[in-house]
Amino acid sequence: MKLANLKGTDDFLPESQILRNKIINTLRSNFERYGYLPIETPILNYYDLLAYKYEDDSEILSEIYKLTDQGDRKLGLRYDLTVPFCKVIGLNKDLRMPFRRYEIGRVFRNGPVKLGRTREFYQCDVDVVGIDNRLIEAEQILLAINTYKELGIDIVVKYNNRKLMSGLIKEIGISDELMASVIGILDKMEKVSKDELVDMFLKIGITSDKTNALLNSFELDFDDYLNKYRESSNHDIKEGLAELEELNTYLKELGIIESCKFTPTLARGLTIYTGVVFEFYDKSLRITSALGAGGRYNKIITDFMNNGEVYPAIGLSFGLEPIYAILKDTENEKSLIDIYLVPLDTNVETLRLATLLRENNIKVLIEMNKKKVGKCFEYAEHTGIKYISIIGSNEIESQTLKIKNMVKKEEYEVKIENLVNFLQNDIDN
């Protein structure tokens, strides 16, 4: 048997997982700061649920890992956290609205692998159902900017409105049947050449005249759209522009408009989106793909509930993998251990001391294999443990320990009764 990971999956040893946990903890802290509550949903789902709202030839369906159980039921591994969230709302009709939730969990996509994009990965989502205004959209963009900033990443927020896109496409006289395909191609406008775009449009039956009209129509600035379509009778264009104009007002008042870029071709690909959409990019371009994304999806939960009520929803997702790919070369924390205690025939006394420290939230490792003292110092330095103390009978008798700081290469004498305060003050600082 060949020992190997499946392409697009990884093992993460402690040095890597410490950073990944730090990212997740930062995300969780910010989600809760903005009023979102945790939930958890199953990885395994009915395939029909996952495939809901998509055509048979949709790209996302080709990336679902499909399987069957012993009852020959068609199942799949979840590819995101949005559809399972919609299912939760549909199954829990007594939830008070608006309902804010966050979920951090594994998802799976059988798609291409590249830097920051794997086949098994974590999504970190926040969603709210029951609010349909631009204030919540501005708050979610603010949440993204501030959260990435806390992680040490400055982002650019690209944003658009699917209503505006649909209206502009209708203006050119393209049928509703081709709408989803045209939007999908326009979403690639910043990523492929003009010739490639023309070929894509030709393949779905869009004439060269309409192709040119499309390309010209999606190259304007926001103010140009306002001036050109202010008196338009096209409902989608007017509503899309009005929503974007209101959102821009909030972004300006919040002082974050400089971090945001109106991008008329941004669609987010998935057909569930019905209004404002956004994607987050590293301003330094250490990774060129999106670090996270989201948008408004007002129909999917409404259809799940099917009770005559409307359930507006909006959410965003942070990608753990691209964040980790950016930070792994700059973060160098190797260990979570605060102090390494090495007993010299003082096992019981050392364990009692470690228990006292642990009860005060200090992380302790005890040497239990009777390594030579020199090897213990090497181990502490190699694994990134900050403090080490050798505990022999003299230390127990005098109730005084010698504590060595492996980073500063300094040694301190500390009374055992003062050890908790000594370590806590260092940890806090």
- pLDDT tens across 310-363, in order? 899 999 999 898 899 899 887 767 788 999 999 999 999 999 999 999 999 999
Radius of gyration of the chain (CA): 27
Give the residue-averaged pLDDT of 220-227: 94
Average pLDDT, the chain: 92
Q: For 366-405, write each residue's pLDDT tens digit.
A: 999 999 999 999 999 999 999 999 999 999 999 999 999 9
Residue 374: predicted pLDDT: 95
**Does position 53 have pLDDT exceeding 80, yes or no?**
no
Tokens coding 9 = 């999956």
Residue 29: predicted pLDDT: 97
Give the residue-averaged pLDDT of 189-207: 87
Q: Which fold has domain 339-428?
A: Rossmann fold (3.40.50)
Confidence band (pLDDT; 50, 70, 90) for 55?
low
Same topology, domains 14-327 and 339-428? Answer is no
**Distance, CA of 333 to CA of 336 (rounded, Å):** 8
* Inter-residue contact 406 to 389 (CB < 8 Å): no
Q: Which fold has domain 14-327?
A: BirA Bifunctional Protein; domain 2 (3.30.930)
Residue 116: predicted pLDDT: 62
Confidence band (pLDDT; 50, 70, 90) for 429?
low
CA dihedral 40, 43, 49, 50 (to 10 degrees): 110
**Does position 201 have pLDDT exceeding 80, yes or no?**
yes
Residue 300: predicted pLDDT: 85
Residue 355: predicted pLDDT: 97
Pure H helices in 51-126: 59-62, 82-91
Residue 193: predicted pLDDT: 86
Segments making up each domain of the chain, as ranges: 14-327, 339-428
Among 20-29, 262-271, 416-425, the minimum mean pLDDT is found in 262-271
pTM of the shown model: 0.87
**Distance, CA of 144 to CA of 125 (rounded, Å):** 11
**Distance, CA of 263 to CA of 190 (rounded, Å):** 10
Among 65-79, 94-108, 269-283, 389-403, the minimum mean pLDDT is found in 269-283
Residue 306: predicted pLDDT: 81
